[in-house]
Chains A and B, each alone.
Chain A
Amino acid sequence: DIVMTQTPLSSPVTLGQPASISCRSSQSLLHRDGNTYLSWLQQRPGQPPRLLIYKISNRFSGVPDRFSGSGAGTDFTLKISRVEPEDVGVYYCMQATQFPYTFGQGTKLEIK
């Protein structure tokens, strides 16, 4: 199985300041079809997860442009340019390049 490792596991941030979460995979997520199936999900308290970013850097419909994704191969980053109160929650990276699909452990974003 591909292991997904996120850092940090907890991130206290100040409103209006940027935040960054890293995700590293145990092997390259480049699929033989040329795509890299790395996505980022947000789970607010008491809610199901929702898709933020897919294929490394594509924002899903309705996702604010303060969220951005980057990376390649085995190293990926989610950035929030200016943290808003509604961004509080747990963020997960997920790989869908190889079965079984796997998630990172989650990073809890909280306001200082």
Chain B
Amino acid sequence: EVQLVQSGAEVKKPGESLKLSCKGSGYSFTSHWIGWVRQMPGKGLEWMGIIYPGDSDTRYSPSFQGQVTISADKSISTAYLQWSSLKASDTAMYYCARHVSGDIDYWGQGTLVTVSS
């Protein structure tokens, strides 16, 4: 069974750093792209970027380029989304998702990030 298990909810202050994780299981982690999707409170889905764990090829949406870093550790089947300096506007639910030929077929349960002073 394909599963993507994300790390738990986070409460941070503006300016702090953060790294979210997404552990894949039940499939070949290195053979499928993993993407990240943001959902701000009460809003729609925004595609942030994607990584191919096999060779760490990474693509970002221009809206998120330079704002976040996507990485992966294939030895432990885990993808990451990180910020070096959070803003209040980063408050959102973040989902990781497996891509198959582009389409997203499986989603993580989501990680709620709250940034507040």
Please report A residues at the B interface, Cβ cutoff 8 Å.
1, 31, 35, 37, 39, 41, 43, 48-51, 54-55, 60, 90, 92, 94, 96-97, 99-106
Contacts and interface: CB of A to CB of B under 8 A. Distances in A.
Interface of B: 35, 37, 44-47, 49-50, 59-63, 95, 99, 101-110
Contacts of B49: 100
Given A96-B99, A100-B59, A100-B61, A51 B105 contact: yes
Contacts of B47: 94, 100-103
A94 B104 contact: yes
A90 B47 CA distance: 17
Contacts of B108: 48
Given A39-B104, A94-B45, 20 more contacts: A1-B62, A37-B101, A37-B102, A41-B45, A48-B107, A48-B108, A49-B37, A49-B95, A49-B107, A55-B103, A90-B44, A92-B44, A94-B103, A96-B99, A99-B50, A100-B47, A100-B60, A100-B61, A103-B46, A106-B45
A101 B107 contact: no
The dominant DSSP class at the B interface is strand
A94 B49 CA distance: 14
B107 A50 contact: yes
A76 B59 CA distance: 26
26 contacts: A1-B61, A1-B62, A37-B102, A43-B45, A48-B95, A49-B37, A49-B95, A49-B104, A51-B103, A92-B44, A94-B45, A96-B99, A96-B102, A96-B103, A96-B104, A97-B102, A99-B59, A100-B60, A100-B63, A101-B47, A102-B47, A103-B44, A103-B45, A103-B46, A104-B44, A106-B45
A44 B88 CA distance: 26
B110 to A, nearest CB: 5
A100 B99 CA distance: 13
B105 A60 contact: yes
A104 B44 CA distance: 8
A87 B44 CA distance: 18
Among A48, A90, A99, which residue has the most Cβ atoms of chain B within 10 A?
A48
A103 B39 CA distance: 11
